[in-house]
């Protein structure tokens, strides 16, 4: 019995990596921390906003790894002698990954009021019409 996959349809020629992309995307969401929003600000621009309260710019890193936008946060462990009666503010490391399409690029990143903003742009491909000549057999 053959395995039926998403890319086995005859109209999806050349989309071999689509199934791998779907699997990678499903694995990239590992919990709900930190919370984030994704908004479309114009037809070809997007913004990812992560709530990173308590993290400084030095505690955060943003990288592109194989078409994945990866945001990592690491705080230095405080070694003071504070005694918490309640500790509800998260102070842990995190990694959040977003799979980007081939034509989506990171335009900028900024941080304000405990929110990390990552602006993305999608390049619009030129519409090309190509005529294919038919040779006589």
| pLDDT tens, position by position, 69-122 | 999 999 776 666 778 898 877 667 899 999 998 899 999 999 999 999 999 999
Instruction: List the CATH code of the domain at 32-122.
Output: 2.60.40.790
Say how far apart CA 60 and CA 71 lie, in whole Å: 7
Sign of CA dihedral 81, 85, 90, 93: positive
What sign has the CA pseudo-torsion 86, 89, 94, 99?
positive
Domain residue ranges of the chain, discontinuous segments joined by + = 32-122
Strands 94-99 and 104-112: unpaired
Residue 30: pLDDT over 60: no
What three-state secondary structure class fits 25?
helix
Look up residue 26 and give its DSSP letter.
H
In whole angstroms, what is the distance from residue 47 CA to residue 50 CA?
10
Q: Give the chain's mean pLDDT.
A: 83
């Amino acid at each position: 019995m053959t395995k039926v996959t998403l890319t086995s349809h005859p109209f999806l020629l050349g989309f071999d990596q689509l199934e791998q992309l779907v699997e990678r995307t499903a694995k990239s969401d590992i919990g709900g921390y930190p919370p984030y929003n994704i908004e479309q600000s114009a037809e070809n621009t997007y913004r990812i906003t992560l709530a990173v309260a308590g993290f400084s710019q030095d505690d955060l890193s943003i990288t592109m790894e194989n078409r994945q936008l990866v945001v990592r946060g690491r705080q230095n462990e405080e070694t003071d002698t504070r005694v918490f009666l309640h500790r509800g503010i998260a102070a842990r490391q995190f990694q959040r990954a977003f799979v980007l399409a081939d034509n989506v690029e990171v335009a900028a990143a900024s941080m304000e009021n405990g929110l990390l903003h990552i602006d993305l742009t999608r390049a619009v491909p030129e519409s090309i019409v190509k005529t294919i000549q038919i040779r006589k057999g």
